[in-house]
Structure 1
Amino acid sequence: MSDCPIYHNFLTGDGKMIYYDYQPGRGGERPLNILKDFNGHLQADGYAVYDELPLENITVFYCMAHARRKIYDAQSNNEKLASYALQEIAKLYAIEQACQEEQLNEEQIKDRRNKESLPILKALGDWMKIEYQQLRPKSLIAQAFAYSIKRWEKLSLYAHTGNLMIDNNAIERCMRNVAVGRKNYLFCGSHDAAQRAGLLYSLLVTCKLNNVNPYNWLKDVLSRDINEMPINQIKTLLPYNWKEQ
């Protein structure tokens, strides 16, 4: 898999900007270069490269939706165990939805999660460890539980805060643009072309995230003489800062 082309997708915590970084391989060198000056939390899908980043300033945590999907797919193997786990995970999502509907602030969300989410997470994690001991290791349900058990601490990390998300579904939705494009045009033609496509994805999807019409943005930005703009004004042309004239 080391020579498999991949887009590393990075979405900012405020959801205003996304960066599609194309690489011809799946090694960890490129994410390391991009994140070396980053300080904060990084939510990932379980891709081992991110967990192995030798950076003390980054705290990696995982996406509950990915763990849920593996359990969901194991229902045909053991419906009873999978259904119970999905039921408990649904409670976690119900808490998140309630926080959103009640428009709670960061401190209130943290308090709600501490009181309601953390006990569910602890009980579910302990339960999976016990049940796993009774399962055939190669069964679908055992593999699904093993995935979560190995990552449970980092799957639960969000609940210790009031600002982190339970999953990274927001960036998963952004990745659909690449999937749709790949289905339509099949190939970029070269690694260089794929990198250019990544830059275009980054700009145009960032427009979408900020409710900016991509055509109007491109028409305006490309018609300007950027060489005549003060360097400190260039950032005003980014989609999340841009104002339609």
Structure 2
Amino acid sequence: MLPITPAFCFAHARRGFFELVDMEKNAREGKKGKPVSPIAQEAVKPSTRCSRSNAPSTAAALTSGLPRAKRRANPSRRHAWLLRERDTLWRSSEVLKPMNYMLRRWIDFARFIDDGRICLSNNVAERALRGIALGRRYWTFAGSQRGADRAAVMLTLITTARLNDVDPKAWLADVLARLADLPTSRLHELLPWQWKRLREAARPADQQAA
């Protein structure tokens, strides 16, 4: 089994900076509110510093045929900026916390530079899990650990179908109808991506063109 390679989320890293520039929150808290940090403001500007890495096309752009040195240039400048600004701060500065969070994990934050498959944030995964989290009270009625395991399996199958742009209801209905009579050697045909490919190949030519 290959070791797990961490790839950290820029959205979570930037959250600490955003909290320090939330003027409305500071106004509500009055004297207890944290002072607005100029460094945090610079970090979250839409087109500069740490925010620049949050553009959806950045990973693809940085890994599309450019030499390794050039692909690393922009993240290296951001890393240098964080180090330079950190050296100017007092140890009690509030902005040190989000800065150190990124700097201590920079290798894992910059992992997307070497592998364009890596997302800059896990926002998509979190949104996919939101429905499950909202319905968590209902999972207490699974009845047993075995029931909970079955629910987890079904949710995994449904999500896998959606990720492959397959209608989960149509896929499950077809799988359940064919599963008992399908030879073991052909079970792979029921995997969502295989199922979709075989269905598309079986469509009439005029429908495929449409």
Paired residues, number: 181
Residue 102 of structure 2 is matched in structure 1 by: 148
1:86 lines up with 2:44 in the alignment: yes
Distance 1:70 1:194 in 2: 35
Residue 17 of structure 2 is matched in structure 1 by: 71
Q: Which has the larger radius of gyration?
A: 2
Paired residues for 1:152-231 under 5 Å = 152-182=106-136, 185=138, 187-189=140-142, 190-226=144-180, 228-231=181-184
Structure 2: 5+ residue stretches without partners: 23-33, 203-210
Paired residues for 1:41-56 under 5 Å = 55=3
- Decide whether aligned partners of structure 1 residues 188 and 89 sit closer, same or farther in structure 2, where only a CA change above 3 A counts: farther
| Shift >6 Å, 4+ stretches | none
Distance 2:59 2:83 in 1: 29
Structure 1: 5+ residue stretches without partners: 1-36, 40-54
Distance 1:105 1:153 in 2: 16
- Decide whether aligned partners of structure 1 residues 69 and 105 sit closer, same or farther in structure 2, where only a CA change above 3 A counts: closer
Residue 61 of structure 1 is matched in structure 2 by: 7
Contact 2:10 2:121 in 1 (8 A): yes
Q: CA deviation at 1:194?
A: 2.8
1:97 lines up with 2:57 in the alignment: yes
Instruction: Name the aligned partner's letter for residue 68 of structure 1.
Output: R
Instruction: Name the aligned partner's letter for residue 89 of structure 1.
Output: C
- Decide whether aligned partners of structure 1 residues 162 and 214 sit closer, same or farther in structure 2, where only a CA change above 3 A counts: closer
Q: TM-score, normalised by structure 2?
A: 0.70
Contact 1:85 1:124 in 2 (8 A): no
Instruction: Name the aligned partner's letter for residue 61 of structure 1.
Output: A
Contact 1:67 1:147 in 2 (8 A): yes
Identity %: 28
1:240 lines up with 2:198 in the alignment: no
- Across the aligned residues of Structure 1 and Structure 2, the Cα RMSD in angstroms comes to 3.0
- Decide whether aligned partners of structure 1 residues 225 and 157 sit closer, same or farther in structure 2, where only a CA change above 3 A counts: closer
Contact 1:62 1:155 in 2 (8 A): yes
Instruction: Name the aligned partner's letter for residue 132 of structure 1.
Output: R
Instruction: Name the aligned partner's letter for residue 199 of structure 1.
Output: V
**Secondary structure of 2:140's aligned partner:** coil
More helix by share: 2
Output one character per residue of 1:101-153: Cα deviation in whole Å (capped at 9) or x when no partner.
Answer: xxx79543xx18853x63332222233234335144583x2221121111111
Q: TM-score, normalised by structure 1?
A: 0.61
Q: CA deviation at 1:99?
A: 7.0
Distance 1:137 1:239 in 2: 53
Distance 1:161 1:216 in 2: 35
